Structure 1
Amino acid sequence: MTSHAFGVSVRQALRERGISIRAAARALSYDHAYLSRTLAGRQSPSPQLAADLDAFLRAEGTLVALAAITSTAADEGRIERVISRPSRLDGGAVKVLAGILAAQRRLDDALGPASLIPATQAQAARLRPVLRNARGPHRDALAAVVAEWVQFEGWLHASARLDSAAVPLLTEALELADETDVPALTAQALNFRGYLARQQHRPRAVVRWFLAAYHTPGAHPAQRMGDAAQAAQGYAMLGLDDEARRLLDEASNLHVGDDLPPGTAYWLSPTFQRLNIGLAHLGLREHALAADHLQAGLSGLPADQQSAQWTVEYRTALADAREAA
């Protein structure tokens, strides 16, 4: 499953860049047949090949991390056995699956959603029946992984603006998250619906979804801070400035401290939060303040997120704020 994910992601990334496997093999000085076998999932990628492809595609270490899961898993056949016999689910298999998902989420930042949709879609399709038929003490852990996998699939479609596919996936992710009783998953699924509404320029839906995420019992403070700021932007879009400022005040008063955000929202650093605060100030027509927050947020992103497709929205907002200031 890991080798397949690696190969599909690399093939799609090459295709988007107009690079054939043969051309990539020639550029990297690899045998074409070997590279073809590896990218077809018939052979695990070597650490060196993963590193070379990572550098070639400017994946900032994310392809290396994904390939490493294959070598650290005792036997990739363990996952295949669980898929074929869900009743024999074991904790080690769940841990490997969680690692694959975490690596692929980081790949989204480096390669973009279109490169990851095929592999993520295929993996989620294989895992749904496993969850339905799984039994035993590790089922709850698997449920959380599958809920996040479907959520990630929904996010990829939303980010790629494949809205008609994103909506049912995020609805399914929300239902799965509620079953797991993991509040961070529920809040994040609601947050992604708010993101999609913002791309669709539907301010009332923006407010509705982000407020629902903000008020999710047990959501992490970092999630609530971001949700409050984004709901504030929705209010500003509606011309309800007092409500927008009230929520911005609530966001600034939330104490996050040194508590790291949950893995399902790993990007929610204090610096990242300034991006959504900047959007809210832009909606309030406070252009200089918006530009300050947006510039600080973009400059503070880690290297693997600097060119992520989702940053385009913030870069456009920064340009708009500077022009209007």
Structure 2
Amino acid sequence: MRDDDFAALACRLLHEGGYSMKAAARATNYDPAFLSRVLNRKQRPSLTLAKALDGLLGTGGALADTLLDPDDDSRVSRSAENPSRLDAGTVDALAGVLSAYRRLDDTAQPASLIPATLAQMKAVTRMLKGARGPHRDRLAEVASEFVQFGGWMLAQDRQDAKAVRLLNDAVELADEIKNGTLAAQALNFKGYLARQQGRPEGVARWYAAAAFTLGAHPAQRLGDMLQAAAGLAELGERDDALRLVENAERLSDAAAALPPPDTAYWLTPEFNRLNMGLANLGLARYADAADHITAGLAGLPDELRDAPWTWEHRDALKRALAGR
């Protein structure tokens, strides 16, 4: 991560957490003048400072992990200047930064992450345009995931048109390298956006497209079928919705037998209880919906239980309980 991007991200996260610069310096035992220089882009951030801010903000080390160590920083800079000489270490470093951003998404508001996320995304896609050699396809995977993550951030922030453009680009990048897992995830995010827009036609369309994407992981297919079923149920297509739920249930064992894909690490059996809850809510099976959503929320890891994306499931739980 560039120093400018780190400074902007840290400032936004501190503001979100209710900390002034002086209060943050006092809480982390840093000289306010030093912290000011870092956050105003006049001095490079140190790993020690980043870890101290992680502790203050409760971000579990993710903020520190957005920083590249000196060797990786030099490696990435060289690849950015001459993408035709891309090496494996550069791709590993960029994948690590992306992983850190994904973890920040579990604790921070999307609006705080969007500027730095999009800056990183643009840097990676620029590198991809000139990349050559045996590591290009792996870089394309990172680029596709970065683009879809940018689309996901924008979708959560309801910047709908920009989100759709990025998610379409992510599907094209995934198709270019024949990665069905990444393509299915980008389509899944389009279904999520349609649900926020109150468009059940889009919910059914995009989740069904994700579920039947060649190369999708069984856990993806299971969750996408359930969410497509919720859209169909809302449209009054109850028989089709029930068939999709039955098909999803047949995938349960296969999905549970495999670890979730790295690009959709949250797709555990517990998480898919949330999707089963949404399907049952659409089918007006309120007691079942409440049971599944309650179990799904309870089964999330501690660091995910208060993530912003869980809010719609908590709202769904309220509707299920009210309908019982």
Question: Shorter chain as normaliser: what TM range?
Answer: over 0.9
2:72, 2:93 within 8 Å by CA — same for their partners in 1? Answer: no
User: Which segment is superposed worse, 51-60 or 132-141?
Assistant: 51-60
Partner of 1:27: 27
1:271, 1:301 within 8 Å by CA — same for their partners in 2? Answer: yes
Please state how far the C-alpha of 1:13 moved relative to its aligned partner. Answer: 1.3
Partner of 1:251: 248
Please state how far the C-alpha of 1:63 moved relative to its aligned partner. Answer: 2.6
Structure 2: distance between partners of 1:192 and 1:305 = 18
Partner of 2:282: 283
Q: Which amino acid aligns with 2:138?
A: A
The alignment's C-alpha RMSD in Å is: 1.7
SS in 2 for 1:256: helix
Partner of 1:226: 223
Residues 1-325 of structure 1 mapped to structure 2, 5 A cutoff: 1=1, 3-40=3-40, 42-47=43-48, 49-67=49-67, 70-71=68-69, 74-254=71-251, 255-325=254-324
Gaps of at least 5 residues in structure 1 are none
Distance of aligned partners of 1:321 and 1:34 in 2 relative to their CA distance in 1, 3 Å threshold:
same
Residues 228-274 of structure 1: CA distance to partner in whole angstroms, max 9, x if unpaired? 00001001111111111111111111122331111111100100000
1:2, 1:100 within 8 Å by CA — same for their partners in 2? Answer: no
Aligned residue pairs, count: 321
Higher relative contact order structure (alpha carbons within 8 Å, sequence separation ≥ 6): 1
Structure 2: distance between partners of 1:289 and 1:273 = 14
Structure 2: distance between partners of 1:188 and 1:208 = 14
Residues 260-293 of structure 1: CA distance to partner in whole angstroms, max 9, x if unpaired? 1111111001000000110111111111110000
SS in 2 for 1:59: coil
Please state how far the C-alpha of 1:74 moved relative to its aligned partner. Answer: 2.6
Structure 1: distance between partners of 2:106 and 2:222 = 22
Distance of aligned partners of 1:127 and 1:51 in 2 relative to their CA distance in 1, 3 Å threshold:
closer
1:7, 1:40 within 8 Å by CA — same for their partners in 2? Answer: yes
Please state how far the C-alpha of 1:19 moved relative to its aligned partner. Answer: 2.6
User: Which segment is superposed worse, 92-101 or 160-169?
Assistant: 160-169
SS in 2 for 1:92: helix
2:66, 2:100 within 8 Å by CA — same for their partners in 1? Answer: yes
Please state how far the C-alpha of 1:37 moved relative to its aligned partner. Answer: 3.6
Q: TM-score, normalised by structure 1?
A: 0.94
Structure 1: distance between partners of 2:37 and 2:93 = 23
Please state how far the C-alpha of 1:34 moved relative to its aligned partner. Answer: 2.2
Please state how far the C-alpha of 1:40 moved relative to its aligned partner. Answer: 4.9
Q: Which amino acid aligns with 1:211?
A: A
Structure 2: distance between partners of 1:181 and 1:292 = 38
Q: Which amino acid aligns with 1:286?
A: R
Q: Which amino acid aligns with 1:173?
A: A
